[in-house]
Amino acid sequence: MGELVDGVWHKQPVAKGTGAFERKASSFRNWITPDGAPGPSGTGGFAAQSGRYHLYISYACPWAHRAMLLRGLRGLAAHISFDVVHPFMGDLGWHFGTDFDGATGDSLYGAASLSEIYVRAESKATTRVTVPVLWDKQTEQIVSNESAEIILMLDQAFNGLTGNTETIRPKGMGDALNAVNARIYDTLNNGVYRAGFAGNQDAYSSAVDEVFATLEWLEARLAKTRYVMGEVLTEADWRLLPTLLRFDPVYVGHFKCDRARLMDYPSLWGYTRELYGTEAVQTTTRFDHIRYHYYTSHETLNPKRIVSTGPAIDWHAPHGRGG
């Protein structure tokens, strides 16, 4: 993936000198709040208002998938619009081609690439150009491009509009959630990328060992409880699920995470199918975008860009985890 430097797009390699894949921190960290007061980071002025905000997403990207899940779960479809980039990410990064089913183009400005949106917000931006982007149509600024924070905004900031009373961060669970989220992010959400983009055997072996240690830890946990944190769905489940949905379709083969399949873990596999039955999950999961993106966008991993046939998966099979 490339990056912007002083507002100019540059293609950059993903591997560093150590051979380990390194993911840079997100650069826009403002918050939408009910009254526009400042959030935990960034500046204020982003009040929760219907029709004011727009999401730029990729159906292929697990981080963007999180945001779309919360948009659906919290009934925000009527309040927050969205556009979908093309699943192929080439030299220009994410772009707005419309020659793939479900890719929308840029409905706001007719931009050709997502980097144009970043430069529109900050003319001399130096940053990675990632999805999701939470955009303020009123001020033409990027509110945030950090998915972990966007989902918390969508969870609670718009309750005055929607009447929502649910939350993905139940009271008193914050510290435990943070610890579980940190492990899942470091070793699994990002761990599959560290394995797939490793530049040498040691980096790969270290990353893939952590991926499967965490899958085994989750398997044992879900054998005892219905969801990651117990009997109620939380932030941990919705941060984990996009990675699990992509595991057998792409990470096993494309990222060399082939020690075992998700389907080889009975509790994890049933859990994933249970959550897949949620309407917000089914309407935001596009396996055609997922597989096309990974197999065609990473030229160093798949130089001929051949998209494999993929495994046969029955996502609708009974999950066996109760009603």
Stated pTM of the model: 0.94
Range 52-70 average pLDDT: 98
List of residues 6+ apart from 209 with CB closer than 8 A: none
Catalytic hit among 53, 56, 118, 193: 193
* pLDDT band, residue 11 (cuts 50/70/90): confident
What is the percent of the chain where pLDDT is above 70?
95
Give the count of beta carbons closer than 10 Å to the beta carbon of residue 226: 17
**pLDDT at 20 exceeding the cut of 80:** no
Range 276-280 average pLDDT: 97
Range 22-26 average pLDDT: 56
> CA–CA separation, 272 vs 275, rounded Å?
5
Range 61-82 average pLDDT: 98
> CA–CA separation, 263 vs 195, rounded Å?
20
Map tokens 């761990």 to a residue: 191
Q: Alpha-carbon Rg of the chain, whole angstroms?
A: 19
pLDDT per position as a tens digit, 105-118: 999 999 999 999 99
Catalytic hit among 53, 56, 61, 204: 61
The gap from C-alpha 238 to its chain's centroid, in whole angstroms, comes to 10
Q: What is the pLDDT of residue 13?
A: 42
Told to judge if 257 belongs to the known catalytic residues of this protein, a careful annotator would answer no
Range 18-40 average pLDDT: 79
pLDDT per position as a tens digit, 207-236: 999 999 999 999 999 999 999 999 999 999
Range 119-127 average pLDDT: 94
Range 302-311 average pLDDT: 96
Cβ proximity of 1 and 23 under 8 Å: no
* pLDDT band, residue 2 (cuts 50/70/90): confident
* pLDDT band, residue 22 (cuts 50/70/90): low
* pLDDT band, residue 206 (cuts 50/70/90): very high
* pLDDT band, residue 14 (cuts 50/70/90): very low
What is the percent of the chain where pLDDT is above 90?
93
Q: What is the pLDDT of residue 236?
A: 98
**pLDDT at 15 exceeding the cut of 80:** no
Q: What is the pLDDT of residue 25?
A: 58
Cα torsion angle, 233, 236, 242, 247, sign: negative
* pLDDT band, residue 263 (cuts 50/70/90): very high
Q: What is the pLDDT of residue 235?
A: 98
Cβ proximity of 106 and 98 under 8 Å: no
User: Beta strands of the chain (E only): which ranges?
Assistant: 3-5, 8-10, 53-57, 80-84, 127-128, 133-136, 141-144
